[in-house]
């Protein structure tokens, strides 16, 4: 597990914004590639969008529902112990080795309730989920490739390891922010500054480009375009003053 630097209070504040807003803050503080690192490169499906964003630390597991041999050597209770011992809130990141095929699901009513009891708030799996209404009732959010009917031979194969889901690698203990847009797996060296950066960029937009676009009544086209131009410059100037970087529109 990577060291956790944010308090539960700070995680609750991160949960107030959608994942694109968190990205807007992250891009200002990171040294990573903002065009390919940390976020899902493939399409995800949020099956509980009404639950809003989820925030937590990654616990990781690999499954292969098509392979019956795993059931013979499975030790699910050892996996549950691993999950229980990690600090929360937690998001279970599941790599399905059957991908792109969908054979069965680790998730359903029983496993979602079990993981909720172990301090998990949801899952991101590049396989499938089932019992979607019952999972929702458990308060367990899921981003997945699709729905399916059965569990097949789904059981933990290995855990507490690096996984790759939707084209993005995730390590145990990594901070995850996810919603209907996808997910962001925060590099550990960016975690400490993330909340303040997201808060600043959200406020920056609300002080500049958003009101400029909405306060258009009575303006002719040239006046409106000039107002938008000035607002974009103001956004960039505030961003540069705070982070030493250009804004989104420069």
**Nearest in space to 99 (alpha carbons), one of 148, 162, 140:** 148
pLDDT value of residue 36: 92
If asked whether residues 179 and 227 sit together in one domain, one would say no
If asked whether residues 156 and 225 sit together in one domain, one would say no
User: What is d(CA 155, CA 140) in angstroms, rounded to the nearest whole number?
Assistant: 19
Token pair in block for residue 206: 């609300």
Residue 155 sits at the vertex; the CA angle it makes with 153 and 159, to the nearest 5 degrees, is: 145
The pTM score is 0.93
Band of residue 75 on the pLDDT scale cut at 50, 70, 90: confident
Q: What is the CATH number of the domain that holds 57?
A: 3.50.30.40
- Evaluate the CA torsion angle 240, 181, 125, 91 in order and state its sign: positive
Q: Is the pLDDT of residue 74 over 80?
A: no
Q: Is the pLDDT of residue 3 over 70?
A: no
CB 154 within 8 A of CB 106: yes
- Number of structural domains (the chain) is 2
The pLDDT tens digits for 107-163 are 999 999 999 999 999 999 999 999 999 999 999 999 999 999 999 999 999 999 999
pLDDT value of residue 15: 96
Q: Is residue 90 in a domain? A: yes
CB 57 within 8 A of CB 86: yes
Q: Which domain holds residue 227?
A: 208-243
Chain CA centroid to CA 81, Å:
24
Chain CA centroid to CA 108, Å:
20
């Amino acid at each position: 597990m990577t060291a956790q630097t944010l308090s539960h209070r700070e995680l609750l504040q991160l949960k107030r914004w959608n994942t694109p807003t968190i990205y807007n803050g992250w891009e200002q503080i990171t040294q990573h590639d903002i065009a390919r690192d940390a976020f899902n490169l493939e399409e995800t499906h949020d099956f509980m969008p009404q639950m809003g964003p989820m925030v937590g630390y990654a616990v990781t597991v690999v499954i292969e529902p098509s392979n019956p041999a795993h059931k013979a050597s499975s030790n699910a209770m050892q996996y549950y112990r691993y999950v229980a011992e990690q600090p929360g809130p937690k998001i279970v990141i599941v790599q399905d080795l059957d991908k792109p095929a969908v054979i069965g699901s680790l998730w359903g009513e029983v496993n979602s309730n079990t993981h909720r009891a172990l301090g998990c708030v949801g899952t991101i799996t590049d396989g499938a989920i089932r019992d979607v209404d019952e999972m929702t009732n458990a308060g367990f959010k899921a981003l997945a490739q699709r729905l399916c009917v059965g569990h097949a031979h789904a059981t933990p194969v290995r855990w507490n390891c690096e996984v790759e889901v939707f084209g993005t690698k995730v390590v145990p203990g990594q901070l995850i922010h996810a919603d209907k847009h996808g997910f962001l797996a925060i590099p550990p060296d960016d975690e400490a500054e993330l909340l303040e950066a997201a808060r600043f960029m959200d406020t920056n937009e609300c002080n500049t480009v958003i009101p400029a676009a909405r306060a258009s009544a009575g303006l002719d086209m040239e006046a409106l375009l000039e107002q938008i131009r000035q607002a974009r410059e103001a956004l960039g100037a505030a961003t540069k003053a705070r982070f030493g970087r250009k804004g989104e529109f420069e």
